[in-house]
Amino acid sequence: MTTPLLERLKAQISVSGPITVAEYMAACLGDRAHGYYTTAEPFGVKGDFITAPEVSQMFGELIGAFLVTAFQDLGDPQSVSLVELGPGRGTLMADILRMARLRPALINAVELHLVETSPRLREVQKNTLKKAPLMPTFHDRLAGVPDGPVLIVANEFFDALPIHQFVKTHDGWHERVIGLDDAGELAFGVGTARLDEKDVPKTARNAAPGTILETQPAANAICEEIGARLSAYGGVALFIDYGYLRSAPGDTLQAVHGHAYDPVLARPGGADLTAHVNFEALAHAAKRAGAVAFAPLTQGDFLLKLGLLERAGALGSGKSPAVQDDIRAAVERLAGPERMGELFKVFAISSHRTPISPFDRLWHPDQ
C-alpha cells in the first residue's frame, strides 16, 4: 500500500534526514497537493469518521443556543464576528445559524467568518450554507478576521493541529522523529533535539525510559491568539474536542481510515491523523493572553444541561417510530458515556469572568 505523499516523504527523508512528528502530521493533513483534508472526503458513512454535527442537528442547535446566551451576556453588541475554525462540511454552522435566527438582534449584528485551509472543504461549506441568512468570508488564519468582539466555535479542530512528541531517554526527553528503516520504510526514531526540563510537567518527572510526552505549540499559539482577541475586544470561544484535562505523558497520535484505526505511518495523506488535546495547556495559553477559562464539561454534561433530552422530545414529537428511534440513537451517541459523551470535552474561554451557562465556575488548572 502506498500513497503519493508516502513516496514523496521517503524521497525527502532520504535526502535531508528524519522529520519531526509535527512535520509529518502537517504534511499528512494539510499538504497542498496530497494532504488528507485537501484531497479526501473524511466525513460520513462513506468517509473515515463521523463528527458530532454530522450525527444530529441537535448538536449544532444546542451550541447555537449557547452562543445566543453568550451574545446576550456580552450586552448585545452592535457588531460581532461569528467565527468557526475548521468547519468541515459546514453542518455545525448551518445548525447554529438556524437557532440564532430566533434572536434577530444577533443575526443583524453578526458577520460570519470561516477559517479553513482546505480549498475543497471551502466549496462544501459554501454549498451547505447556501440558504443560511449570512454569507461567509473565508480565511486561512484567524489573523484575517477583522478586529472586534467575537464569538468563536471549533469542533474537532485542535486535534488536527500538529503535535511534537518526545521520548524519555537516559539523558532527558528527546524529540521523536520519523526516518527510514533498513528496508527504506518510514520508521519512528529518536532525534537529537531535547525538551527543556522546565517544560516537562510534574506528572512526567519520574517517567520510565521509552515514555512519550506530547506538546502542541500550534494549538497553544492559536488559543493564545484567541485569548488576546477576547481580552482586547470582548467575546467568548467554545472548543469541543477529545482530550485530557491534566498534562500527562502518553502517546495519543492515531490514524483512522474507513472508521477503523490504522497504523500511524501506513497511509500518509490517505488517513485522518489526530492527537488528543491538552486542555490544561490551552487554559494556560488563554490566561497568558488575559482571557479567563471556564472549567470544562464533558460533552454529555454540556448537551444534557443545555436541554438535549427536551430538544430530542420536541424533534421526535408526532414523527414515526423509526424517526424517533434515530433521534434516541443520536442522543446516545452524542451524550452516552460509552460513546462521545465522556471522551469529548467542552471548554470555553471568555473576556468576562461570569461563567456562561451551562459552565458554572472558573478554571485554575494549577491549583
Q: By the criterion CB under 6 A, which residues form the site for ligand SAH? A: 29-30, 37, 43, 51, 53-54, 86-88, 92, 115-118, 121, 155-157, 160
Cβ atoms of 316 and 324 closer than 8 Å: yes
- Whichever of 279 and 363 has its CB closer to ligand SAH, that residue is 279
Least distance in Å: CB of 153 to ligand SAH? 9
Q: Whole-number minimum distance, CB 348 to ligand SAH, in Å?
A: 16
20 or 168: CB nearest ligand SAH: 20
CA distance 10 to 242: 31
Of 68 and 160, nearer to ligand SAH (C-beta) is 160
Shortest distance, position 33 Cβ to ligand SAH, whole Å: 15
How far apart (Å, rounded) are the C-alpha atoms in residues 276 and 86?
16
Residue whose CB is less far from ligand SAH, 153 or 177: 153
Task: From 163, 156, 162, select the one nearest 85 (Cα to Cα).
Answer: 156
Nearer to ligand SAH, 219 or 292 (CB): 219
Shortest distance in whole angstroms from residue 309 CB to ligand SAH: 22
Cβ at position 196, least distance to ligand SAH in Å: 25
Residue 153 to residue 64: CA distance in whole angstroms: 10
Q: Which is nearer to ligand SAH, 30 or 148 (CB)?
A: 30
* Closer residue to ligand SAH (CB): 137 or 211: 137
d(CA 112, CA 80): 9
Tell the smallest beta-carbon distance from residue 187 to ligand SAH (Å).
Answer: 26
Q: Tell me how far, at minimum, the Cβ of 277 lies from ligand SAH, in Å.
A: 12
Residue nearest to ligand SAH (CB): 86
Partnered with residue 284 across adjacent β-strands are none
Q: Least distance in Å: CB of 17 to ligand SAH?
A: 25
Minimum distance between the CB of residue 92 and ligand SAH, rounded to whole angstroms?
A: 6
Select 77 or 86, whichever has its Cβ closest to ligand SAH: 86
